Structure 1
Amino acid sequence: MSVTPLQALPLDELRQRSSTKWRKYPADVLPLFVAELDYELAPEITRVLAEAVRRGDTGYTPPDPGIREAFVEFSRRRFGWKVDPDHVFWTGDVMMGVVEILRRVIAPGERVVVMTPVYPPFFDTVEEAGGVVERVPLERVDGGWRIDLPGIRSALQNGARAVLLCNPHNPTGTVHSRESLSALAALAAEFGAVVVSDEIHGPLAHDGHTFVPFLDASPTATEVGYAVTSASKTYNLAGLKCAVMVAGAEPQARTLRALPAEVEWRTGLFGALANVAAYAPESDAWLDALLAALGQNRALLVDLLAEHLPLARFDAPDAGFLAWVDVSAYGWGENPSPHIRRQAKVALHHGPLFGAEGAGHVRINFGCSPDVLTEAVRRVAGIVPA
């Protein structure tokens, strides 16, 4: 069945927003850096939040805000993943959840594997939990990236105690295969390690790619893992503060039940209300329309780069609305983003923040209108020396 893509809001309306994307840089800069979307909220989310404001329902989050049931049903409906409701917990955001889990599965000074290039807060999160980052870069393969399983084996053999997985991967947009995830789980089991999987981009897999939740990859994954996720990336709810923590097996569930009560209290009431509304069946049509819009922009970006920046190296992401682009051939230095922002008036994310592999790279948010995306690439192409 054909789906009508969402239409992004006009720039003059977007510039009235007060979020980071629209307030960090002057109005003459096109902001394609931070992972915020340029679309209206899903109608069910708008309805629920508007009703809460009308009622003055702005107090503390209740002990059972309905997140558990909504997430379990969403996972069944969208991923075919059967989640044990007793293994679902919540907190303020994904990185909060990751920190709290890591604090309980590693000792201070123990090493945690991260697969670079990766979402910059991963580095700080491991350190906040008392761990030491062990970098195992993704392997570059034709058309994308994959987990370096021999590299992870070596890290675990040498004493790393946990793996912080990004699934799907940010910034490359890689949807890890069931085979890779199962093999990762087997390695963790072999060495008595734990896998914590950030799955915030899970609902955003593009046509031809199937998101596999880590805990559903194999029976072994269930025994060694945790997942942390949220509706915030898909539904543009980052400022409302709500995330879901999922335990694979009962021992992990006991660990999450033993977390201080404050971990759950950090969940914002509006975040809980919005996440429940996002996970409801009433929001599925909006999500399908978003995916259609992102699919069009993904294809458009491929064409725009080929036409205007032909020396850029880019593999279209399997999931999400973030593009990882190597522009090192243009000689704009290890961190091209500041030069591009100054000269082209386009703000892109800084490649080196994602790890050493990010030298010469930028990350582009294509969750915007086709016109904005086209104008941004043309502006960047305009600063290429003749």
Structure 2
Amino acid sequence: MKYNFNTITDRSNNFAAKYDELGVKFGREDIIPMWIADMDFKTAEPIIDAMRERLDQGIFGYVSRPDSYFESVSQWYKKRHGWDVSSDCMSHSHGVIPGMVMMMQEFTEPGDKIIIQSPVYNEFFEIVEDHKRELLVSSLKVVNGRYEMDYEDFENKVKSGVKMFFLCNPHNPIGTVWTKEELKKIGDICIKYGVQVVSDEIHCELVYKNNKYTPFASISKEFFENSITCVAPSKTFNLAGLQTSIIIFGNKEQKDTYDHLLQINDIKRNNCFSLVATEAAYRHGEEWLDQLLEYLHENLQFVNNYIESNIPKLKTYVPEGTYFSWIDCRELGMTAEELKEFTINEVKVGFGLWYGKESEGFIRMNVACPRSVIEEALNRLKTAIDKL
């Protein structure tokens, strides 16, 4: 079927964090929310149908996860990405970040060093520091208009005894889709120094045109055994509120340990709706996803063209993946706090604003919404900057 992503959906009774938490996040509610990573689009019709059928059953007791659940994930990755990974390697989590926290707690100790690459999703900073691990940051660098890894800096830091690396592939917020060659270089360094790789690949389906997503663990048997991969239907199919993700282990002993933790904490089950929605997404969601990717890519190009033509003081990095436009506002000459106040109180748009010190002067704009909303946000941005 043909989907219309230009439709405005009223989310006022949707209990949507994106809207309902504006006052808490930004101190006011009369702004356009473009911060949190969810979409203002209804999900694929086969997913809605599966959930409606489950709803009509009228009984919502504890669920038993069928073999077909993880098999649908395995078949999707083989078909879509050429990664033949067995469903036997998969476990459940209520989210990528909760899963990463559990693995950090179990496979490292307080005081152990964990490395990330900044700018990066703010939760990476927070979970490491909140759980009393030592955070090391390797800054990404811009080469010919594209963010790249600094392998020399990364290796110099992991030499000091790093235990775990949180990889983001594709990278949020900058939108770089790491190539196989880039992943191999960073993975070889991790093998050399005995660093466990935990790869957040939640944005892996949101990749555009000539770019190709490579699952880190698919590169070699050695990489697979040294990594834990976190994926989910949540970003791809706008299902974050169902709180489900899939953790893929290359080491059976680690998987058994993790599964035991799920068991003793009584969090081993899906809820009844995430169970059917996830399987429907991976079995029947491809048509919707292909149309979504076309629309998102056009939205990103729209942002780039608008800023280039109307707000020359700003610079965009058109992403290779994700649904974020990464916008360089440093020419405005504002501090991080001044930029925050300006975008909230003068522009009246709630952007993503903090992803490490390397992100100061930048804003992340979520374009997973109807184009008319994007145009209004950009018009507000232009008007406010013209007044400076």
TM-score scaled by length of structure 2: 0.92
Taking the aligned partners of 2:220 and 2:352, their CA distance within structure 1 comes to: 35
Q: CA deviation at 1:121?
A: 0.8
Equivalent in the alignment of 1:368: 369
Query: SS of the residue aligned with 2:261?
Result: coil
Higher mean C-alpha deviation, range 97-106 or range 87-96: 97-106
2:176 aligned partner, one-letter code: T
Measure the CA separation in 1 of the matches of 2:246 and 2:131. 18
Q: Tell me the CA shift for residue 58 of structure 1.
A: 2.4
1:20 partner amino acid:
A
> Could you say if the C-alpha distance between residues 120 and 220 of structure 1 is closer, same or farther in structure 2, counting changes exceeding 3 Å?
same
The one-character-per-residue Cα deviations of 1:133-181 (angstroms, maximum 9, x if unpaired) are 1111112211311222212211211111110001100000110111111
1:237 CA drift (Å)? 0.9
Aligned to 1:126: 128
Q: Which residue of 2 aligns with 1:349?
A: 352
* Matched AA of 2:8: P
Unaligned runs of 5+ in 2: 23-27
Q: Deviation at 1:272?
A: 2.4
Counterparts in 2 of 1:133-144, with a 5 A limit? 133-144=135-146
State how 1:211-226 maps to structure 2 within 5 Å. 211-226=213-228
Question: Does the CA contact (< 8 Å) of 2:262 and 2:268 recur in 1?
Answer: no
For 1:23, give the aligned amino acid: D
Stretches of structure 1 lacking an aligned partner (at least 5 in a row): none
Aligned partner of 1:76 in structure 2 is: 78
Distance 1:93 1:61, change over 3 A: farther
Match of 2:117 among 102, 115, 118: 115
2:341 is matched with which residue?
338
Cα–Cα, structure 1 residues 147 and 292, in superposed 2: closer, same or farther, change >3 Å?
same
Match of 1:149 in 2: 151
* Structure 2 residue aligned with 1:24: 21
Distance of 1:190 and 1:171 partners within structure 2:
28
Q: Which shifted more, 97-106 or 208-217?
A: 97-106
| Cα contact 1:5–1:291 (8 A) shared by 2 | no
Counterpart selection for 2:43 from 41, 50, 71: 41
Checking the alignment, whether the CA contact within 8 Å between 1:226 and 1:248 is kept in structure 2 is: yes
Q: After TM superposition, list the pairs within 5 Å mapping 1:72-221 onto structure 2.
A: 72-221=74-223
Contact 1:308 1:377 in 2 (8 A): no
Write out per-residue CA displacement over residues 174-196 of structure 1, whole angstroms, 9 at most, x where no aligned residue: 10111111122211111111000
CA deviation string 1:278-333 (max 9, x = no partner):
111x2110000110110110111110111222111221011011112111211343
Q: Is the 8 A contact 1:34 1:365 kept in 2?
A: yes
Identity rate, percent: 27
In the alignment, which residue of structure 2 is the partner of 1:265?
268
1:24 maps to a residue whose letter is: E
Distance in 2 between residues matched to 1:50 and 1:315, nearest whole Å: 40
Residues 5 and 293, structure 1, Cα contact 8 Å, conserved in 2? no
Relative to structure 1, the CA distance from residue 173 to residue 275 in structure 2 (aligned partners, 3 Å threshold; closer, same or farther) is same
Deviations 1:48-75 (A, max 9, x none): 1111221124222324474311110111
- CA apart distance, 1:31: 1.1
Shift of 1:372: 1.0
Question: What number of residue pairs does the alignment pair up?
Answer: 380
Is 1:328–1:334's contact at 8 Å kept on the other side of the alignment?
no
Q: 1:170 and 1:42, CA in 2 relative to 1: closer, same or farther beyond 3 A?
A: same
TM-score by length of 1: 0.93
The alpha-carbon deviation at position 263 of structure 1 amounts to 6.5
RMSD over aligned CA atoms reads 1.9
Partner of 2:25: none
* Contact 1:106–1:161, Cα closer than 8 Å, also in 2: yes
